[in-house]
Structure formats: C-alpha cells, structure tokens
Amino acid sequence: MRKIFIFVSLLILLISSACSGNSPNYSSINSYTMANESLDKRQDEKVDEDFLKAIENSILWRIRQPNSSKLDILANTELAYIKDFIHQPFYDKKLKNLAQKYIKGLNLQLESLSEKLPSDGDIKRLRGTVYCYEVLNKLYSSYNFLSENAEFVGIYISGFEAQKKLYNAYKEIDNDIALQAKNMENRCTYFSDHLTFKFTNNTKYTYDTTFEFSIMDKNNTIIDHQITSIETITPHRSFEVSVYKNQNHADNFDWNNYYSNIHW
C-alpha cells in the first residue's frame, strides 16, 4: 500500500507540474488590467477637473460683462469654454449630466433669438437661464464651486429662486392671454376707424405688456406697423388694446405681444 501511495502521489505531482507549466500568468494579466483601469480613472478624473476649471473661467468671464451685452455673445463665449466637454468621458457621471444640462441651457438661450414670436423667445431664453442656474446651484452645493466668490453667490445662488419664479410667471401670463385670444372675435368692438380688444389678467401676477400689430392690404403686404403698451396690469384687471385703420386699403392684420416688469 505504501508503494502504491508513493507512485500515485508522484504521478499527481508530475501532472500538476505539467499543468502549471502550461497555464497563463493570471496574476500578471490582472495587474495589467488593474493598471489600465487605474489609468482610465485618472484620465476621466482629469476631465472632471478640467471641466470644473473651464466652467469656472466661463462664469468669471460672464460676471464681468456689462448688463448691455448681447445674449448671443454671452452664450457663444461661454460655449467656447465648455462645449468640447459634451462628449468627454467624465469619471463622475453626475458631473457629466450637469455639464450636458448647462450646455443645453446655453443653446436654448441662443435658440430663443430665432423664435418668430417675442414671447416664445422670452420663454425659451428664461428656460435656458433656469437650466444654467440650476446646474450652478448643484455645483455650488455638491462641489463647493466658487463658494468664496461673493459675486457668483449673489447672482446665481441667491438669485436662483427669482429666476424660476420669473420663468413660471411668464409662462402662466402668456398662456392666460393665449387662451383668451382663441376667442378674439368675441372680445372685439368695432369702430369706424379702429378695433378694440378686451382682455383680463386672470393670473396672480402684475405685469406690463406690449402689443405689436402689422396692418396688411388684400395681398398681405404690410402697409403699417402699430405698437401699444399697457403698464401695471394687476391681477383680475381688465384692459383694452386698439388697432387703428390708418389707411383706406388696409384689409387685415397680424399681431403678437410680450411681457415685462413682472411682479409677484
């Protein structure tokens, strides 16, 4: 029994050695994989750091611009700082989502300039602005972003709630007038030289509004342009808007309106 045991043990040892000699070095492969993963992590983390620095530079630049600056210049310059990060491999996925939302907000601001109706442009611009403010607030709370910059905190952090309220108020006011405008013929009073339309402020906001009328002939050629502004329209107040027929060959008109000085 002892001889058999030795022989069998020797055979097992030889087989084990042979198998061991033909096996790949998994330890080396695992080390190589871990090294690559570590390198990828460092590269992705650098993207995170580069983005935070880039958006910091863009914000500090925008803060320095005068209030009279044109929106397209402001938004395009900010995009120049950060737009290349849209497809970058961030390590922090939440930060990547914030980067994409901020870029979307800037693009909405630019798109607002191409809207046909001023009120549609205002709403899109405000939505883009709220997107950007929301991102900056999350960067501030989660990444300590520009937390020691008093101008940044005063504009973007303290002003965030006001931007959201303005956006929601503008939408509500515009929707209120749009619903009433569906029955314009029922709101119209005819006079010999003009038409008058009656509206009511059914919202909780006070605002100014401006109506623009394009007067056209029977060929739909614009022959006159009229602007009427009504100020301080308080909640539940009714107001009238008139369009005048200054030329005998006036046949029809088109109109739009927009809002300003919104208070709540």
How does the average pLDDT of the chain come out, rounded? 87
pLDDT at residue 79 is higher than 70:
yes
> Token pair for residue 204?
């909780």
Can you tell me the distance from the alpha carbon of 128 to that of 104, in angstroms, rounded to the nearest whole number?
A: 7
Q: Where are the alpha helices (DSSP H) in the chain?
A: 2-22, 26-63, 71-82, 93-112, 118-143, 150-152, 160-181
Convert the pLDDT of each residue in 148-182 to its tens digit: 999 999 999 999 999 999 999 999 999 999 999 99
Can you tell me the distance from the alpha carbon of 203 to that of 237, in angstroms, rounded to the nearest whole number?
A: 10
Can you tell me the distance from the alpha carbon of 19 to that of 42, in angstroms, rounded to the nearest whole number?
A: 38
User: Residue 22 — very low, low, confident or very high, per pLDDT cuts 50/70/90?
Assistant: low
Residue pointed to by tokens 């910091």: 56
The pLDDT of residue 38 is 55
CB 237 within 8 A of CB 199: no
Can you tell me the distance from the alpha carbon of 110 to that of 71, in angstroms, rounded to the nearest whole number?
A: 7
The pLDDT of residue 45 is 86
Can you tell me the distance from the alpha carbon of 180 to that of 202, in angstroms, rounded to the nearest whole number?
A: 10
**184-193 long-range Cβ contacts below 8 angstroms, 24+ apart:** 193/244, 193/245, 193/246
More confident of the two residues 184 and 87:
87
CB 208 within 8 A of CB 230: yes
pLDDT at residue 136 is higher than 80:
yes
Q: Given its phi and psi angles, is residue 232 left (phi above 0), alpha (psi -120 to 50 degrees) or beta? A: left
Helix, coil or strand: residue 88: coil
Can you tell me the distance from the alpha carbon of 106 to that of 58, in angstroms, rounded to the nearest whole number?
A: 12
The pTM of the full predicted model, rounded to 2 decimals, is 0.81
